[in-house]
A and B are shown apart, each in its own frame.
Chain A
Amino acid sequence: MPSLADTQRGFSAAVFASDPGSIRPWIRANGLSPERRLGLYRNNTFLGLSEALRDGFPVVHRLVGTEFFDALARSFVAEHPPRSGCLLDYGAEFPASIAGSELAASLPYLPDVARLEWAWHEAFHAAEAPAFGVAELAAVPPERHTQLSLRLRPSVRLLASPWPVLRIFHVNQPEYSGDPSIDLDRETGCRVLVLREGAEVLLHPLSAGEFACLERLSREGSLETAFEAAIRAEPGFDLPASLVRLMGLHVFNHPARFAGGALP
C-alpha cells in the first residue's frame, strides 16, 4: 500500500504529466478503465486552471483569441501545477511562461501585457492599509525628516515596459469604443503605477523620475537614495511637486517608519 504522499504524487503525475504508471494499479476499473477515469480529472484540472488564467488575463485572452490562449494556458498548466490551495494565487508565472514560449514569439509585447494584468490582479487582492499623505507628513517635526522612511502601500505595483502596454490594456477593455489600432513604430514604452483605491484598481502613467523614486522605495531604499535616483533619471524633475501628486494618489503607507523609533 503506497503512502498518502506517494498516492498524491502518483495522481499528480497522472493529471499533469499524463503518466498514470504509479497510480494505475490502485484504481479499480468498475466499468470505466483507469485511464478514462484519470482523464476526467485531467480534463477538469486543465479546464479549471485555464479558466482561472482567462479570468486573470482578460486582455491577453482578447489579444490572441480563445483558441490560442487555451494553447498557451495548456502548456503553462502542464508545467505549473498549483502550489496554493487558493485559485486566486494561480498564474503568477504565466507572464514569464509567455515570454519563454515560442508560440507567442511574434507578439513581443504580450509578456508585458500579462505582467500588467498580474499587477492589476495582485493590487486588487492586496491588503488594505492607511495612506501617508501631505497632512501626515506635516505632522512630523522637520528635525525628524531625515529619519523618515517611506514605503509603498501593499496594493501598489510598478511596471516599466518598452512597449505601450498601458495603451494596449486601455484599448482592449470591453467598454472601450474608440479605434483599437496601435502602431508600435509610433508609440513608445511606458511606466505604470498600479494601485487600488477602495475597490477599484487604477492605472496611472509615471514619469521617469517618479518611477525611479518609487522603484527604490519599493526595494526598501532610503529617501535619499530614492530622491537622488529620481533626479538622476529625469533632468529637470520637479521632485516636490511629484511627491505631492503621489501622496494625493495614496501611494505611501502609513504609518511611515522612522529609523529612530516610534511615531511622533
Chain B
Amino acid sequence: MKTLFLLQFIFYIFGALIPALSGKNTRLASAASHLAAGIGSMLGLACALFVFASGIPFEWVFPGEGVFGNLTLRLDRLSAVFLFILSALSAAVSIYAVGYLKDHHRDARFLGFVYNSFICSMALVITAANAFYFLLSWEVMALTSYMFVVMEHEQKESRRAGLLYFVMTHLGTAFLMIAFLALFLNAGSFEFRDFQASASALAPAWKNAVFVCALIGLGTKAGMIPLHIWLPEAHTQAPSHASALMSGVMIKTAIYALLRFLFQFLGEIEAWWGGVILCAGILSALIGILYALMEHDLKRLLAYSSIENMGIVFLGIGSSLFFAASGRTAWAGFALIAALFHSVNHAFFKGLLFLGAGSVFSAVHCRDMERLGGLIHRMPATAAFFLTGCVAISALPPLNGFVSEWMTLIALFAGMQFQGLAARFFFPILASLFGFAGALAAMCFVKAFGITFLGSPRSSEAAQARESDGWMKAAMAVLSAGCVLLSAGAGWTAGILSRVAADLLEGAPADFLPSGQSVCVSGPAEMGRFMPAAGLGLLAVLPISLWIWRRLRLKQLKVRTGPNWDCGFSRITDRMQYSATGYSKPLRRIFSFLYQPLRRVEVEDEGHVLLRTAQRFESRIRPLFEEVLYRPLARWIIGLSEKARQIQTGHIQLYLSYILLTTIILVLVVRLL
C-alpha cells in the first residue's frame, strides 16, 4: 500500500521530467509523459479503492523535521473519495491527451511537464495533512493551471483570462491563508489533526470569521457566484484535456477543503452557515445555467454549467449543515452523501463533455456553435459519447447525474420537517428552484448537442470534420461507461459514501442510508425511493424490443428518403436552421432583467435605404457581475492606489523617514499591547 501510494507520485515526477530529458522526438516524449501520468493515476485509483475496501486510513510521514511541521500525507475516506475522482478522471484524460496532442501542439513537451505537475499537486492537496503543505500544493496547483490557461499566450483573450484567473485565485488563497492562520493561532500547530482536536476551543466569533474566510477563499476556487467570474474565461482558454481536469477535479478540491473546514476544523456547526451555503448554492445553480444557455461557445457553455453543478453540490452541503445543526443527523448524512455523489458524478460527465468538446475542436478547429452542426454524421462515436454526457448532466433517469440530483432534491424536501415557518418554507422553494435549474440544464444540453451535432453543417470546416482517433475515443468510452456504471451501481456507491459521511458526522452509515449497499436507494424514514438499475434495465429492454418491432415493421413498409419539407419554398439553405443564439432567444426575452440584452443593427447605405452596402448585427448580453460588482471594485482599488501614490516622491530621505516612523509606531504598538 505504502509503495503503491508513493509510487504514484514518483510516476508523476518521472512523467514531468521525461519531456525535459528526452531528445528531439516531441511526439514520443509527450506520449510517454502523459502515459506516465496515466499509470500514476491508476496507482492512485488502486489506493483509493483500497481505502474504501479496508476502511483503514493510510498515513505517510516524510522523514525529517520541518519548520512548519512534518510533511504528512494522509489518505482517509474523505481524501479517498477525491483521490478517486482525480485518479479516475486523469487516467482517462491521460489516454485522451496522447491522441489530442498528437499533431497540433508545438509545445506538447511543455504541456507534458505542466500536466504531470498539475495532477501531482492536486493529489498532494487532497492528501496533505498539514496546512502549510496544503497551501503550498494549493499554490502549485494554481500556478500549473495558470500555465494551461495562458498556453496560447499570443492571443489577447488568453492573456486576459490568465490575468483574471491569477488575480482571483490569489484573492481566494489570501482568504484561505487567513482562515488557516486563525486556526493555527488556536491550535498552535499546522497539523490538521491538531486543528480538529482543538476545534471545540475555538471562540464563536473566531469560528464564524474563519467560516466566512474559508467560504470566500474556497468559494472562489469552486466558482461560487458571485466569485465565479474567472471560471468561464479560464476553462475556455485552457486546452480541452486540461479543462476537463480543471472542471472535473480542480474546482472540487475546494469542496474537499470546505468539507474539512465545516465538519472537522470548526467544531459545533452553526445553522446560519447552512443558510448562507444554500443561498450561494441556489444562486450558482440558477444563474450558472441561465448564463450557460446564452453561450454559443461550446466550452464556455460547459464552464458555466460547471458553476451550476457546483451550486448543486453546495445545496447538498448547505442542507447537510442545516440538518446537522438542528440534530437531524440522519438527514444531514443523506444530504452529505448527495453532495459527495454529485461531486463524483460531475467529474465523470463533465470530464466526458470537455473531452467531447476537445474532439470537436480538433476536428473543426472551431468552438463557436454557430459554425458547427451535423457532426453526428461525420463523428458518430464522439456524438454518441457526447450524448451520454448530455443525458447524464441533464439529470435524466437512466444515468448517474439523476441519482445525485434526486438525492439532493429529496434532502431539500426533508427540510420541510423543520420547526418554524420560515425554515419550512425556505426548503420547498429551494427544491422547486432547483428543479427549475435542472429543467434549464436539460434545455441547455439539448442546445449543446442539437446545434453542434445535429442538423446540417453551418460551415465548410464542419462539413469536412473527421472522427477522432482511437486514443480519444477510448478515453471517452471509459468515461461513458463510468456514467452508466455509477448509475447501475448507485446503491453501492452511495453505500461507500455513507461511510465517508459517518466519518464527518456522528452517526452510523445505516441511519444515513437505510437501504445500505443494494440495488435501491432510499432516504431516512422511508422517504423517497429510487431503483436506478431497474430504470436502466427497463430503458434497455423496452426500447430494444420496440426497436426489433421497428425493424420488422419497416421491412413490410415502403420507406422513402427525401428532402426536408420546405413549405413549397424551394431554396432552403443550411443557414436557415435555428442557430445557437436563436435557440435561447425566448429565455433571453423572458429573463431580460437578468441578461439586459443589447442589440445593435448598423446599416451603411449609399444615400438611400434600398442601396445597402453593408449591414452589421451585434447582439450580446450585459455581463452583470463584472459591471455591477467587479468594475466598481477595480476602479475603487485603482483610485485608492492613485491616492497612495502621493506619498511616493522618489526622494530616498523621505523613504528612510517612513521606515523610521513605521518602526517607532510598531515599537509603540507592541509595548502598549
A in complex with B: no
Q: Which residues of A contact B (CB under 8 A)?
A: none
Q: Which residues of B contact A (CB under 8 A)?
A: none
